[in-house]
Each structure stands twice: as structure tokens, then as C-alpha cells.
């Protein structure tokens, strides 16, 4: 059977029907602008893309639209045979260190974590609720973005704040993008024919959201996202690291409310805040045209990544692999060059021919002479979620 | 002549009479608990320490007490010959990239920077005002903690937030402890008989406040303190880096006000927040007694420093020197060992005999075989301020 993977955002639903054995996406689609006057629906199957504009009232309606497209355009879900539905959930707190089969108790636990992820978890939970109603006869599995990082050591997940306050309000580093970091770390080992236990890797997930992890022998020892996905690298619209006193300063001097500053740092910062543009391809075009803001944005972006590479190298002691993944990491040779530039003294370099060769496969882009391999490893979060679903269901059955 | 260096905190005044040529402190003292029912006064001169408890109403009264002690215990200021008074000021914003002779215009500029340093600048300004009244016939010079870091490159001082907001409210990285970082970077070169232009150093200023800088050929290229001295390393009572969303989370879920969260992160966090104790000597005692909180606090402290060393090494490309300074950096062999531990693969190590040998002189504590030197370089902020005063006064005269 196949697994239907759902990713419910606040105003979008992404779905993918995955063959967890072969690994291919059988069909996939997105429904955007849920709740707005006109929604955008895209469905891809058998090489064809269907695109429609139609109002989509809520997540329930969105899922109905998706199920309708499977019937209308294909593949028929009854024929494809759905083995399980997998749900991506951003925040699993300390309650979930792996995938879980959704029942009322699990949903209650997820509800209890909403204060930790007010921007994300409510939509994730909403997506699970409607999917259980419409697809009631298969197991639903929640896969948490934070689960992989529940293995972080205390010195990495502990913030240096008052312990009572931290305990009472569950303030610690949870990380995010865990499914991607875990998948890429495992994939590196398979590609190299090595055991994951023997490899130290730095994984750079550079998409609209961006994060970096240090994985030592398969176990994460540090990651850049924190209590929320705001901390760390410069992202499309998120600031990443700033002095926390920036919040106090703006509250006092700009008269901004907490919600306004939250909105500023999450949605109007990052590349977009610096250059007015959060799409990396567009940013490069602006740099080419001599736009100084775009130029600064790119150098701030790269500077931050370099710092994290160095920081995590110091923690790992020995770095076997630096892996680039996600939209920018997989596709943007310019970013990869700029990030690695200057690291030659540490035995880290890029071979420009390898870097520029286009491919969808995992590949090495460093020259022969370096000890640290630089790689591009396409992430497959949906496949990873699908496989975790199968594992969870099989474990539950035995 | 000598220079009287003043450091006015919110409830304290520290003073030191310095010979800017020889470099020695002729006399020094502190007046603590200004404004409280009983103040604590300490004056050191010619090997003797005078200690008194007496109410000290305000900074004006504090300076009068200090001047009285010079007359009573010595040395008489009229005989010592004061050439200038140097004032340490925390925040110079973008207005001051070096020392300035204080006049009404300079004071006005400093006033305009109070929103950037509401915890520090008002007391600094207050100290300057009373000193100008009581010591009106010598030049007063303000030396800014941020001045050295005005040379940071844009990719280091720019936060990835909305540029309009950043410009309007002067939000950027200013750094702090600049006088110390600059002094230590210069001292390293003199001790090694090298030119500062030829050296890349990482300077770890580890006191109650703590910060780290990367100095490339004498020019700072990155530092850990940010808009305010809250960002960066774990400190005695400050958190250093946290996800800025921690502020949103506590405001929403703990019902804390901005002022309360500011107080939490600046005064009830860091080592004190984690272990209830901000004095490193005491923390070691607690670790020895098996206190798990103290143990965690120390590992979080060390972990953060390691990350910064790696980050700054990646920026520098080649690291000639890692220098420890300030209370912990100069005195605590245990911290130095823990920080350097695990960096051997990068050619960074400590020789334990050298590390444990006690001395007040700048010294190398790495073994012979490493390319990167690890050093202990006592900071002398007062001397550095005194010398900058002399330079400013002499420049103004020519
Ligand atoms: N060919 C490409 N060259 C450069 N950047 C690209 C390319 N393709 C996609 N990107 C960038 O990838 C980013 C989106 O990454 P993605 O992983 O899809 O984001 P997310 O899943 O976090 O929404 C955008 O900044 C986009 O510009
Ligand atoms: N001999 C020592 N061993 C370990 N730590 C020390 C020693 N002497 C001072 N310290 C530590 O130095 C810190 C104060 O550093 P200092 O530079 O004086 O701080 P400030 O930032 O207030 O100037 C305290 O944590 C103190 O415990």
C-alpha cells in the first residue's frame, strides 16, 4: 500500500501519496490560500499538473478537494490502497521523541503543546482532525519535526535562564526540521556505504525555513532552531539569531506589541526584511543588477551559515561530511560556493565543476584532496514521514 | 601626570588613578550600594586597603567620598597631578568610534543614546556630570565600550530584520567590552613581538560579563555582544543567546511584562539562573560537591564558548592566538581546560603545567607543537582608558 502524507499549514495543505518501499511520489498537490476569497489548487499525477482557482473555506474543505482530485484525475485511492496517513507536526515538545499513532490521547497531548507553537500546531491538529473524519478506516500517524532532536545533550538544549521559569514554561531548545536532518544524515551513510555510527556530519537545511544540525554518529548534538523555528540561520522571512534585547528595545522605543514584534521577526525579517525579497533566485538577480540591499542580505545570510559550520565543527571535533539540502541547499551553487569559501585552511573546499553539475541525486561536490566531504543530498521529508508511518504501524501490530 | 579613570554603574562607582606611562595603578577604589541605606567604600593605596560602611546618597556624594579618601589616605590629587579624567561609557552607538573630550555637545549625544542602553548609559552620564562639577579644571574624556567594534563589517553588525525598522530604531550589533578586546589584541602582538596587522586572534573576555571577539590583523570582524551586552556567551547573571521567541513565549504564557523578562534575562539568568550562583569559584565548589545544577551550568557555559571559538575560527580562516582574559579567563585554569578540550583535531591544545602555573603576566599556555597559540593575557581596561585619554587630549592640543 501507499502512504498519504499531509502537511497542514495555517492557510495551506500539502499532500503527497508516497510509495514507502520504492520511495517515489505517486501523486502530490498543494492547496493554498485556504479561507481566502480564492484558493489555489495544484495536483500532480503521472507527469500532468492540474491547476485550479476556487474558494476553499477551511482545512476540511481543502482535504475534500484533494480527495476529489484523486478520484477525478487519479490515482483512485481505493485502487492505490492507502496503508496509513502520515501527518507532519511541528512541535512535539518533550512528549514525543518519535512517530505516534494518533488516538484521542495523542491529540490531547498535541493540544497541550499549542502554547509552544502557536503559529504551527493548531493548523497541524486541525489537519489531523479533518483527515480522521474523512479517512477514518486507516491508521493516522503523527511525525514530529522536533522528535529527532529529543536526543540532544543537555548542554545543547538548555538555555541559560532561570531554571524554575524554564521548567514551568517548558523553555528549552526543541529544534525543528528533524525529519529532514535525520533523513539526510542517514542518507549520507547509505550513499557513502558507511555506517551512520561512524560518521560526523553537519547538515545544512536551506529552504525558506533554514536550520543546521551537527550529527555525531547518527545522534544530533546541536541544532540551530530553538524553542521555536525562529532561532538560528537567516531565513526567507525570519531573522534567526538576534540579541533578545531587540525585543525589549522595540517594545519600548517603537511602541510595538509582542504580537507585532513576533510578526516582524517571523514574517518581515530575514532576506525579505533586508532586501524586500525572500526567494533566493530573485535575490541573485537583484545582486546581479547591483542592488546593494540584496548584496548585503546575501552576505549576512552566508556569514551566519559560516559561523554555524565553524561552531558545529568545534563541537564535532572531526567533520566527515558537510551536506547541503532543501530548496537553496540542493539547487543553489552560488550559495554553496559562498558558504564554503574561506574554509580551505580547515580542509574544506568545493570543486566548482562538481558544484555546478545539475543532478537530483545525492552527490559529492568537494575535490578529491579534502578529508571533509562536501555533499548535496536532496531531502525527502515526505518519504521519511511515510517510512516512519509504516514503522509505527508495524510496531503497533506486533 | 596621572589619569583618574571612573566607571559609574547604576549603584556603584569604581575609580582608579593610573600612571599612563608606567602603567601601574597608583590607587583604586569602589563605592557600592549607592542610594541604599548603607554603602560600602573601599580604597586601596600603597598596599593598604581602607574599608568603610557609610550611606552614600548619589553619584555626586560617591565622588565626594572618593576625593575625600584621596586627601585623607592618599595620594593627594593635587600632588599626583591629574592630567585628565577618563570615563567608561557602555554605549557609544554609531556616534562614537573613539574617545571624545567631553563637552556639552558630546554629553547631548550621549543622552540621545540612552534608549540603546537604558541600563547603563544614564549612570555613565550621571558620573560624568558630577565629575565635571567636582573636577572642573582638567579635561574629561569619554571612552566607549562599543568604539572598537564600530569597525565591524556590515555582515557582522547587521541583523536580518526589516531594514526600515532597524534604521529608525538604530537596531544593529554594537558589541561591548571593546576597550578590553582592543587592549588584549594589541598586547598579544607586543608580547609575541609581532605586528598586530599580521595576527588573527580570538579574544575571550570571561568575567561577570563575558564576550568574545574575532580580531583579524587588528580589526574586529565579529563579536558576541549585540545591540546590548545581553547577547552571546553565558554570563554571571545574563542568558546570552536565546531564541528571541522565548520573550514572546514568556509574555504570553507566564504573563510577564517586558520589564520583567528583561530583568529575568539580564539579572536572573546565566550561571546564577542555572545553578543559583554566579561566582565561578563558588560554582566549582558546588560541582566538586556533586551539585547537578552547577554541573549543568558549567557544561552549558563551556559549550557556548566552544561554539563561538569554532564560529570565529571559520571567519578568520587562520587562528594565530586564542587569548583568555578577565576574572575567569585569567584565573580559572579549569574553565580554560574545559573550553579547549576537544579542539586538538584543529591544532588547538593546552599544556596543563603551563595552564596551572599562576602568574599575573601575559603568557602562552599551549604546548610547543600547536600552530595556534593559547594565551592568558590579563586585561587592563583602566590603563587602556587612561592611555586613550592621553591620546585624545594630545590630539586635541595639536
Ligand atoms: N534553482 C534554484 N536556485 C536557487 N534557489 C532555489 C532554486 N530552487 C529553489 N530555490 C530556493 O529554495 C527556497 C525554497 O526552498 P524550499 O525547501 O522549497 O522551502 P520550504 O520547504 O522551506 O518552503 C527559495 O528561496 C527558492 O528561491
Ligand atoms: N581565582 C579565580 N578562579 C576562578 N574564577 C575567578 C577567580 N578570580 C575571579 N574569578 C571569577 O571572575 C568573575 C569576575 O570576573 P571580573 O572580570 O572581575 O568581572 P566583571 O565583569 O565584574 O569585571 C567571577 O565569576 C569570579 O568568580
DSSP letters of B2-62? EEEEEEE-SS-EEEEEE-TTT--EEEEEEEESTTSSSEEEEEEETTEEEEEEE---SHHHH
Whether the predicted pLDDT of A384 surpasses 90: yes
* Interchain contact, B155 vs A253, CB within 8 Å: no
Collect all residues of chain B within an 8 Å Cβ-Cβ radius of residue A222.
307
Strands B140-144 and B82-89: parallel
Q: What confidence category does residue A397 fall into, taking pLDDT thresholds of 50, 70 and 90?
A: confident
* Interchain contact, A315 vs B315, CB within 8 Å: no
Which ligand sits nearest to residue B379's alpha carbon?
Answer: 2
Mean pLDDT of the region A104-133 = 93
Whether the predicted pLDDT of A398 surpasses 90: no
Collect all residues of chain B within an 8 Å Cβ-Cβ radius of residue A175.
none
Mean pLDDT of the region A296-321 = 98
Tell me the three cell numbers of residue A261. Answer: 514584534
Q: What confidence category does residue A126 fall into, taking pLDDT thresholds of 50, 70 and 90?
A: very high
* pLDDT tens-place string over residues B287-323: 999 999 999 999 999 999 999 999 999 999 999 999 9
Whether the predicted pLDDT of B398 surpasses 90: no
Mean pLDDT of the region B324-339 = 98
**0.85 surpassed by complex ipTM:** yes
- pLDDT: which is higher, A110 or A10: A110
> What is the pLDDT, as a whole number, of residue B118?
86
Whether the predicted pLDDT of A148 surpasses 90: yes
What's the CA gap between A374 and A369, in Å, rounded? 12
> What is the pLDDT, as a whole number, of residue A326?
97
| B205: CB partners within 8 A, 6+ apart | B177, B180, B181, B184, B211, B212, B213, B325, B326, B329, B379
Mean pLDDT of the region A363-384 = 97
To the query of whether residue A353 is one of the catalytic residues in this protein, the response is no
* pLDDT tens-place string over residues A49-95: 999 999 999 999 999 999 999 999 989 998 989 999 999 999 999 99
Mean pLDDT for chain A overall:
96
* pLDDT tens-place string over residues B252-274: 999 999 999 999 999 999 999 99
> What is the pLDDT, as a whole number, of residue B10?
86
- For chain A, say whether B160 makes contact (Cβ under 8 Å): yes
> What is the pLDDT, as a whole number, of residue A119?
82
> What is the pLDDT, as a whole number, of residue B124?
93
> What is the pLDDT, as a whole number, of residue A10?
86
For A333, the 3-state DSSP assignment is helix
Q: What is the DSSP letter of A342?
A: T
Mean pLDDT of the region B339-349 = 96
* Interchain contact, B156 vs A248, CB within 8 Å: no
Mean pLDDT for chain B overall:
96
Whether the predicted pLDDT of A180 surpasses 90: yes
> What is the pLDDT, as a whole number, of residue B119?
82
Of chain A, the percentage scoring pLDDT greater than 70 comes to 100
CB of residue B141 inside a 6 A radius of ligand 2 = no
| A182: CB partners within 8 A, 6+ apart | A148, A220, A384
| Chain A: closest CA distance from residue B267 (Å) | 10
Mean pLDDT of the region B152-165 = 98
User: Which chain B residue shows the shortest CA-CA distance from A214?
Assistant: B307
Report the DSSP beta bridge partners of residue B220.
Answer: B215
> What is the pLDDT, as a whole number, of residue A124?
93
> What is the pLDDT, as a whole number, of residue A92?
97
Amino acid at each position: 500500500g501507499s502512504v498519504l502524507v499531509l502537511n497542514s499549514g495555517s492557510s495551506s495543505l500539502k499532500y503527497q501519496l508516497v510509495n514507502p518501499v520504492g520511495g517515489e511520489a505517486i501523486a502530490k498537490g498543494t492547496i493554498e490560500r485556504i479561507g481566502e476569497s480564492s484558493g489555489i489548487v495544484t495536483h500532480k499525477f503521472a507527469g500532468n499538473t492540474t491547476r485550479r482557482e476556487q474558494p476553499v473555506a477551511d482545512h476540511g474543505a481543502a482535504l475534500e478537494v484533494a480527495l476529489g482530485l484523486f478520484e477525478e484525475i487519479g490515482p483512485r485511492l481505493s485502487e492505490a490502497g492507502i496503508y496509513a496517513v502520515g501527518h507532519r507536526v511541528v512541535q512535539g515538545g518533550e512528549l514525543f521523541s518519535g512517530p505516534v499513532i494518533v488516538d484521542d490521547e495523542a491529540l490531547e497531548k498535541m493540544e497541550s503543546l499549542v502554547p509552544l507553537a502557536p503559529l504551527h500546531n493548531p493548523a497541524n491538529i486541525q489537519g489531523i482532525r479533518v483527515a480522521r473524519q474523512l479517512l477514518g478506516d486507516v491508521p493516522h500517524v503523527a511525525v514530529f519535526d522536533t522528535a529527532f532532536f529529543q536526543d540532544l545533550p543537555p548542554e545543547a538544549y538548555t538555555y541559560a535562564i532561570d531554571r524554575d521559569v524554564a521548567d514551568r514554561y517548558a523553555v528549552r531548545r526543541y529544534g525543528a526540521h528533524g525529519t529532514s536532518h535525520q533523513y539526510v544524515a542517514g542518507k549520507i551513510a547509505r550513499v557513502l556505504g558507511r555506517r551512520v555510527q561512524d560518521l560526523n556530519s553537519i547538515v545544512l537545511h536551506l529552504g525558506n525555513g533554514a536550520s543546521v544540525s551537527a550529527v555525531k554518529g547518527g545522534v544530533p548534538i546541536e541544532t540551530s532552531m530553538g524553542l521555536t523555528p525562529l532561532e538560528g540561520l537567516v531565513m526567507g522571512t525570519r531573522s534567526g539569531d538576534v540579541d533578545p534585547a531587540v525585543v525589549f528595545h522595540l517594545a519600548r522605543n517603537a511602541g510595538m506589541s509582542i504580537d507585532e514584534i513576533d510578526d516582524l521577526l517571523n514574517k518581515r525579517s530575514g532576506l525579505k526584511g533586508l532586501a524586500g525579497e525572500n526567494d533566493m533566485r530573485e535575490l541573485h538577480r537583484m545582486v546581479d543588477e547591483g542592488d546593494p540591499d540584496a548584496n548585503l542580505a546575501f552576505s549576512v545570510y552566508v556569514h551566519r551559515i559560516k559561523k554555524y559550520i565553524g561552531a558545529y565543527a568545534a563541537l564535532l571535533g572531526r567533520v566527515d561530511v558537510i551536506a547541503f539540502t532543501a530548496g537553496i541547499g540542493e539547487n543553489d551553487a552560488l550559495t554553496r560556493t559562498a558558504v564554503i569559501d574561506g574554509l580551505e585552511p580547515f580542509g574544506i573546499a568545493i570543486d566548482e565543476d562538481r558544484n555546478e553539475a545539475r543532478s537530483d541525486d545525492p552527490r559529492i561536490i568537494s575535490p578529491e584532496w579534502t578529508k571533509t566531504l562536501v555533499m548535496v543530498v536532496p531531502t525527502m521529508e515526505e518519504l521519511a514521514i511515510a517510512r516512519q508511518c509504516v514503522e509505527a504501524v508495524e510496531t503497533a501490530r506486533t
